[in-house]
């Protein structure tokens, strides 16, 4: 499965796509998510596409600290969400490096990208000056 592929390929960039029901949106983006299930809330992009990290266990066990590991949640039964996600993924494929993708995110979604970077640094116990990665 996926874990075997990760172990064999050792990717530097790992993206998961998930879908969610509209009724669960607040549970995914709400600030209490960290207290409720121990992971930071997702950030809202456009057309109800959400950005977050992969499961902490997978992140720590299978990836080096400098790998880029993200989850995008696409709202079920929302054609605009699906279309936007497809366009976004096509844009991601044009990026030639992790840093290029991070720069793109900082320009297009500065607030959400900064939140993701803060969550990443908190996850690894890093200081601002330690490292600039997501």
- Which range is least confidently modeled, 10-14, 44-48, 81-85, 106-110? 10-14
Q: Which ranges of 16-78 would DSSP assign to H, the alpha helix?
A: 25-29, 33-37, 56-62
Beta strands in 38-80 (DSSP E): 43-44, 50-53, 68-75
- The reported pTM is 0.85
Per-residue model confidence as pLDDT tens digits over 57-100: 899 899 998 888 999 999 999 999 999 999 988 988 898 888 99
Whole-number pLDDT of residue 128: 58
Out of 43-47, 111-115, 127-131, the most confident range is 43-47
CB atoms within 10 A of CB 84: 19
For 126, what's the count of Cα atoms within 13 Å in the CB-facing half-sphere?
16
Nearest to residue 41, comparing CAs of 102, 106, 122? 122
Q: Does residue 129 register a pLDDT over 80?
A: no
Distance between CA 32 and CA 30 in Å, rounded? 5
In contact, 56 and 119? CB cutoff 8 Å: no
């Amino acid at each position: 499965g996926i874990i075997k592929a990760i172990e064999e390929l050792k990717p530097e960039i790992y993206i998961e796509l998930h879908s969610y029901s509209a009724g669960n949106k607040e549970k995914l983006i709400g600030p209490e998510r960290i207290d409720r299930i121990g992971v930071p809330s997702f950030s809202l992009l456009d057309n109800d596409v959400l950005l977050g990290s992969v499961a902490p266990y997978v992140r720590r066990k299978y990836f080096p600290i400098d790998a880029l590991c993200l989850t995008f949640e696409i709202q079920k039964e929302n054609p605009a969400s699906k279309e936007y996600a497809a366009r976004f993924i096509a844009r991601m494929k044009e990026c030639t490096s992790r840093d290029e993708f991070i720069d793109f995110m900082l320009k297009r979604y500065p607030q959400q990208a900064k939140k993701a970077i803060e969550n990443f640094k908190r996850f690894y116990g890093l200081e601002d000056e330690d490292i600039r990665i997501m």
